[in-house]
Structure 1
Amino acid sequence: MPPPPPRQVNVFLLAADNPLELLTLLRENLLLASSQDEHGYSLMHAAASYNHLELLRALVSEFHVNVDLKDEDGETALFVAETVDCARILVEELHADITIVGDEGKTAREKFADENDFPEVAVYLRMKELESQVNGSSAANGIHSPPALPEGVQVNIGTMAEDEAGEVADPEFRRRIEELAAREDFQGEEGQRALRELITEALRGEVGQEREVRQRTS
């Protein structure tokens, strides 16, 4: 009597329900780590969606899966991150690209904001965009591992309202950043103090408000 055929394992179900068993399986068959179903859904997407953070780390660091692996909609694991911890690991540890645009023409942050999903994740991603602008990163080159906020600026994501970060691309913010960057003392104590104040205003959604008040009352 022939032996029974080997049991077929659904790696995507394991990613959802038993990430430790999945890791054991992947170490026995490394090729499975980059698996994608017929819709391009990958183990990266599953790990992010179910907030299995150690699996997420292992897929990139141990099994060398592309952190920006896309599904059929052009969306990466960042598009399904539902917690700030997951988004932070993807962006800051694993260097996910926050500028990637899916087939709908939106970044992960824009999609979250438009659909009113996971506002804390949207605010976190908006902060990373803001940081990259402040520090002169070029979006054309991709934003991988964005730099930190200047010393002394602290933000508690858990206490921020979803609209507190303001609009990252606000022209008033850009104008004021350019003015600061042109100052001779920009790298000095006074220039950096002014920069910290401006970032704090932007994160509170206050940039541009004074200008709008003047326009309404003039």
Structure 2
Amino acid sequence: MPPNPYLLAADNPQALLPLLAENPALASIQDEHGYSLIHAAASYNHLDLLRALVRDFHAPVDLKDEDGETALFVVETVEAARVLVEELKLDAGLLNHRNWMAREKIEYEEEWPAVVAYLRGLEEPGPSAPNGVAADAAEEEGGDAELPGLPEGLRVTMGTMNEAEAGEQQPDPEFRRRIEELAAREDFQTPEGQADLRRLVEEAIGGEGFGADRNVRQREE
């Protein structure tokens, strides 16, 4: 019985390469649910195999399964997401059959917060500030900027308003400076960085970072 290429893609990618060399068409196969070797390589973080499937064996990087989902919907690491988006040029904005982007589905399922933060950073307008923070661009446009990578269930939105609208409810500039400094830290996505972020947000919710009517809201499912 010939080896199952999907199992090899998951568990033994080096053994799959000779099969691909003998039959390059295998690179683009999909099972009855639309699952492809690209999905498997991305999901199991086999990045060299992922690159080989697209670059050497010319599998379409945007293959979709029966739910209309590309391999980006199944990544579990930022590294795999970066290879798909930055190296292999997969469009992170492609929608599944529920009209969700990969970031939206992963965020809804409350999995892989570092991947969510990375993909959210790709959606920010203008040149990326550290970790995708686009507060300055949002100020110029008069809009909002959401800081990526917040603890689950919390979202901080900062925007601009005139003094009459703001009254005494303006965000403390010191709080804003501290949260932007935190977002720029190299350990921002580590448990320690996320713990510091949670403490900072809880401090704001407690009243030290904002006035009584704070623009910090619970995430809606």
TM-score, normalised via structure 2 length:
0.64
- 1:112-131: per-residue Cα shift (whole Å, max 9, x none)? 1111011110000000111x
**SS state at 2:213 partner:** helix
Structure 2 residue corresponding to 1:208, chosen from 150, 159, 162? 159
| Matched residue, 1:28 | 22
Structure 1 residue corresponding to 2:62, chosen from 41, 64, 68? 68
Which segments of 5 or more consecutive residues in structure 2 lack a partner in the other structure? 151-155, 161-168, 172-209, 215-221
| Matched residue, 2:166 | none
Counterpart amino acid of residue 178 in structure 1: E
Task: Give distance in 2, aligned partners of 1:128 and 1:176.
Answer: 18
How many pairs does the alignment contain? 162
Superposition deviation, residue 104 in structure 1: 1.9
Q: Check the 8 A contact 1:173/1:207 in 2, yes or no.
A: no
Structure 2 residue corresponding to 1:109, chosen from 103, 112, 124? 103
Superposition deviation, residue 175 in structure 1: 5.2
Is residue 49 of structure 1 aligned with residue 12 of structure 2? no
Superposition deviation, residue 154 in structure 1: 3.5
Task: Give distance in 2, aligned partners of 1:67 and 1:98.
Answer: 11
**SS state at 1:68 partner:** coil
Q: Check the 8 A contact 1:134/1:177 in 2, yes or no.
A: no
Task: Give distance in 2, aligned partners of 1:119 and 1:202.
Answer: 13
Is residue 134 of structure 1 aligned with residue 126 of structure 2? yes
Which is richer in helix? 1
**SS state at 1:134 partner:** coil
Is residue 123 of structure 1 aligned with residue 74 of structure 2? no
Task: Give distance in 1, aligned partners of 2:11 and 2:104.
Answer: 29
TM-score, normalised via structure 1 length:
0.65
Superposition deviation, residue 22 in structure 1: 0.4
Q: Check the 8 A contact 2:138/2:159 in 1, yes or no.
A: no
| Matched residue, 2:141 | 178
Identity of aligned residues (%): 50
**SS state at 1:27 partner:** helix
Is residue 94 of structure 1 aligned with residue 88 of structure 2? yes
- 1:21-80: per-residue Cα shift (whole Å, max 9, x none)? 101110110111101000000000000111101000101111111111100000000000
The 5-angstrom pairing of residues 147-158 of structure 1 reads 149=128, 153-155=129-131
- The alpha-carbon distance between structure 1 residues 175 and 154, as it changes in their structure 2 partners (threshold 3 A), is closer
- The alpha-carbon distance between structure 1 residues 38 and 106, as it changes in their structure 2 partners (threshold 3 A), is same
Which segments of 5 or more consecutive residues in structure 1 lack a partner in the other structure? 1-6, 136-148, 156-164, 181-197
Superposition deviation, residue 208 in structure 1: 3.4
